[in-house]
Every structure is written in structure tokens, then in C-alpha cells.
Amino acid sequence: MATMRVVQVPRPKGPLEIVERPIPEPGPGEVRIRVQACGICHSDSIVKDGLFPNTQYPRVPGHEVAGVIDAVGAGVAQFSAGQRVGVGWHGGYCGVCDFCRRGDFFACVTGQVTGITRDGGYADYMIAPASAVAHMPEDLSPVEAAPLMCAGITTFNALRNSGAQPSDLVAVHGLGGLGHLGVQYAAKMGFYTVAIARGQDKAPLAKQLGASVYIDSQAQDPAAELMKLGGAKVILATVTSGEAMSAVQGGLAVKGTLLVIGAAPSMQVSPLFLLSGSRSIKGWYSGTSIDSEDTLAFSARTGVRSMNEVYPLARAAEAYERMTSGKARFRVVLEM
Ligand SMILES: [Zn+2]
Ligand SMILES: [Zn+2]
């Protein structure tokens, strides 16, 4: 029997271990993907640390997948072998639940998540429901495309649904894996783009990524600096510190929105400040496969790229440690 390498988490808080498994066959409505690259996302810690109660182990993490269709199951008309594709966090939808019937596929009651409710992309091959799969443009390499399947789509889709118009002031808070993409997208979408991060040393990078203004939140009060510029129509909060998010909310313009995509456990808000200016705080789910296609196409056309550190699959454990260290610049990607 033909086998493949997978990197699995054997149990909650267990090590990432590389093992051989039989290459699986796609069932009805599914495709098999030969994985070429898979990004390592901070959310992979959900599997590694056992943060979802009903996750079954062993589990193969990975929801930033770029590869090639290798085989299609019964009833899959929209994909064929040899096509380049990607799979992200959204693991497919049923099409018949009430959320799907209203077009909110992201909220499907089946709650399928790539690399969490089913095995993901830390592997030579993986199976995905066709509804989770995005077509990929020819002019993006697998390593370039992989981080766009979670970090990319999350920032791109949040910004394009934020209500901001070209020339509106949009601040991107944080300049890490999400933020370094968010600044590029905001600039390419025509927003007056302000980057907020800690330390003056990040100013040249922020400008290089397309920010018109850089605010060093260690040396300056970011809320006051934003207000000097007229206030932000949108602040895209990519940081994972609720305290840091609280410190920027005062920079929202009247009717401005703090758009939260960093998974901080809690934050303090000022109800008086919100209500006095009809301001809001809102979260954003990453998106579905068609949103991924839009993200990939926009990135390919406009030159938005993730900066990556690349590791071979066999060094996945080391690569994961690099991601959790917070020192990676800026995404860590496994290449098969
Ligand atoms: Zn992710
Ligand atoms: Zn559904």
C-alpha cells in the first residue's frame, strides 16, 4: 500500500511527531490534495494544546494549505486532477442548514475546520470537502500562497467588508504575521493606511509595506496620534493583547469601527466613548473558499506577499516552536 508522511499531534499537549500512514481515498464530495506547502498558524495551538474539547486525536494540524488536486471523489464536478488549489480554516459547509440557506456558509452548523475537525495540511496528502477548496492562480508559488489561506484571507476579507472607502483612514494595529499583510492590503485597497506597532525600528518596514504613517505605540499614545489625523474609520486589531487593543480604541473617528481579528481573551471597552460617537467593536471570521479565491487573485495581481521562513515537513516540530516563539518574520511555512 502506498504511504505518506504526516505530522500529527498524538494527544492534547503531545509532541508533533512524523509518522507514515496509508494515502487516504476521497469519499463522495471530497478531493485528495497533494500538499506542496502549508503555513503554520498560531491557531494550530488549538490542536497542539487541546483547546477544543471534542477534537479527536491523533490529529494532523494545518489550515494554510497549497497544493494540487490528486484525485476526486464521486459527485465532484468542479475540480479535476492536476488543478492547483488551496484550503484554509473554513473546512466546508453542508448547504442545507439555516445558516447556509441564508448564505452565511461560514457559520454552517457542521462547524468543519481544516486541521481541527479533520486532518489538515502538515502532510504529503490530505482529503478536503470540495466546498472547502479554492482555485489558485498560476502566478503564486505554493510557499507564497499558503499563508494567504489564513493570515491573508482574514485580513483581506475583514478590510474589504469593513465599510471603509478609498482614502478613509484605516489603521492596522500590529505588524506581525497578520499585520504585515493587513498593511499591504489596506494600502493596495486605496485606504489612507496607518501602521501601529511597538518600537521605532519597525517604521522602515511599515513604510515599505505601504503605510503612509507609522505610530510607535511605545513612544506615543496611539489613540491620541490617530485623533490628530482625524480619527480612524477602521482600526484592524491584529494583536493578541486585549490591553493593547483597549489602548487604541480611543483613536476611532465618529462612526468608526474597531475590527477585531486578533484572538485576545478579553479587552476593556469604554461604553461612553462608543455611544457618544456611534462607534462599534466588531469581530470578523476569516472567510470561505470563494473569499480565499478573491484573496489569492487580488494578491497575485497587486503584488501583496507574505514574508516567510520556510522549513521542510520533517522539521515541523522545530518550525512550530519558531512560530510560537513570536520571533518569526513573519509567517512560518512547511514545504513538502
Ligand atoms: Zn489560521
Ligand atoms: Zn450548513
Could you say which ligand is closest to the alpha carbon of residue 286?
A: 1
Question: What digits encode the pLDDT tens for the residues 4-53?
Answer: 999 999 999 999 999 999 999 999 999 999 999 999 999 999 999 999 88
Instruction: Give the separation between CA 272 and CA 283, rounded to whole angstroms.
Output: 20
Q: List CB-based neighbours of ion ligand 2 within 5 Å.
A: 93-94, 97, 100, 108
Of 63, 90, 84, 70, the residue nearest 25 (C-alpha)? 70
Could you say which ligand is closest to the alpha carbon of residue 95?
A: 2
Could you say which ligand is closest to the alpha carbon of residue 87?
A: 1
Specify the residue for cell string 485576545: 264
Q: How many other C-beta atoms lie within 10 A of the C-beta of residue 303?
A: 8
Could you say which ligand is closest to the alpha carbon of residue 108?
A: 2
Q: What is the largest CA-CA distance in the chain?
A: 67
Q: Are 319 and 297 in contact (CB under 8 A)?
A: no
User: What was the pLDDT predicted at 263?
Assistant: 87
User: What was the pLDDT predicted at 54?
Assistant: 87
Of 119, 123, 121, 182, the residue nearest 146 (C-alpha)? 121
Give the three cell numbers for residue 237.
486589531
Ligand 2 center to 97 CA (angstroms)? 4
Helix (H) or strand (E) run with residue 159 in it = helix 151-160
Helix (H) or strand (E) run with residue 207 in it = helix 203-209
Q: Confidence band (pLDDT; 50, 70, 90) for 177?
A: very high
Instruction: Give the separation between CA 74 and CA 32, rounded to whole angstroms.
Output: 12
Instruction: Give the separation between CA 197 and CA 285, rounded to whole angstroms.
Output: 23
Instruction: Give the separation between CA 254 and CA 233, rounded to whole angstroms.
Output: 8
Could you say which ligand is closest to the alpha carbon of residue 88?
A: 1
Could you say which ligand is closest to the alpha carbon of residue 104?
A: 2
Question: What digits encode the pLDDT tens for the residues 58-70?
Answer: 999 999 999 999 9
Instruction: Give the separation between CA 17 and CA 142, rounded to whole angstroms.
Output: 23
Verdict on whether the full-model pTM lies above 0.85: yes
Could you say which ligand is closest to the alpha carbon of residue 285?
A: 1
Specify the residue for cell string 509518522: 19
User: What was the pLDDT predicted at 59?
Assistant: 98
- pLDDT above 90 for 2: yes
Residue 252 buriedness (CB in 10 A; 0-12 / 13-18 / 19+): buried
User: What was the pLDDT predicted at 66?
Assistant: 98
Q: What is the mean pLDDT of the chain?
A: 97
Residue 312 buriedness (CB in 10 A; 0-12 / 13-18 / 19+): exposed
C-alpha neighbours within 13 Å on the C-beta side of residue 228: 9
Ligand 2 center to 272 CA (angstroms)? 38
Question: What digits encode the pLDDT tens for the residues 258-309?
Answer: 999 998 899 999 999 999 999 999 999 999 999 999 999 999 999 999 999 9
Ligand 2 center to 220 CA (angstroms)? 46
Mean pLDDT confidence for 194-202: 97
Of 113, 131, 130, 109, the residue nearest 121 (C-alpha)? 113
Mean pLDDT confidence for 303-324: 97
Q: Are 263 and 285 in contact (CB under 8 A)?
A: no
Q: Are 162 and 170 in contact (CB under 8 A)?
A: yes
User: What was the pLDDT predicted at 53?
Assistant: 84
Percent of the chain with pLDDT over 90: 97
Mean pLDDT confidence for 238-254: 96
Q: Confidence band (pLDDT; 50, 70, 90) for 166?
A: very high
Question: What digits encode the pLDDT tens for the residues 64-106?
Answer: 999 999 999 999 999 999 999 999 999 999 999 999 999 999 9
Ligand 1 center to 89 CA (angstroms)? 6
> SS3 of 289, please?
helix
Instruction: Give the separation between CA 266 and CA 137, rounded to whole angstroms.
Output: 38
Number of helical (H) and strand (E) elements in the chain, helices listed first: 11, 15
Helix (H) or strand (E) run with residue 192 in it = strand 192-197
